[in-house]
Chain A
């Protein structure tokens, strides 16, 4: 079984401030970890993913996340928030099932960027 916990359903940051969105997971096998973003009226877009190898993963739009196995965490960060980062962010976990995956999502975190 696998699960995802996102701490904070709403996060507000000032423009230019650090963005930190927290995610903890549980998985009985080595997981694949993802962060997705959903802008208003759009579908989910993959920001970044961790599969194997380097634990610090860089994604699009300046975001990155670090896989910490000992803490079962995969927090998303961005050094400087931009107004265009306002969106809903989803942490997710899955495992390979032979060519396909059943993704388990967290509840989502809405990020507000204050000018």
Chain B
């Protein structure tokens, strides 16, 4: 069974440009999460989808970030326009929609560098 995949693995862009990150969750996982790790800091929650609906976007830094999950399958996270402080590793995770501690499976992350 394929795990969570993310594309691209690395992205280097200039300040002011737009970047779109993609996450493909494990098939059948209704929960999809985005996290970000800024260098030297904790991995922080950005937002959570249940199927195509945003359930919790309390961690989104500002309105330059837009996440979508059309059709409840893959998700995209767009940063427009990118700023220097957006650099970091963006992780996606997915899990089954179950009561209790449903394990989150993480992708390898996308390393974003904004110059």
Contact = CB atoms under 8 A, between A and B. Distances in A.
Most chain-B Cβ atoms within 10 A of its Cβ — which of A4, A36, A105, A107? A105
A44 B42 contact: no
A104 interface: yes
A43 B103 contact: no
Contacts, number: 67
Contacts of B7: none
Interface of A: 4, 32, 36, 41-46, 49, 51, 90, 94, 96, 98-108
Interface residues of B, number: 31
B69 to A, nearest CB: 14
A100 B100 contact: no
Nearest to B6: A43
Given A43-B106, A45-B106, A102 B99 contact: no
B104 A101 contact: yes
A27 B44 CA distance: 16
A69 B99 CA distance: 23
A106 B108 CA distance: 18
Contacts of A104: 42, 45
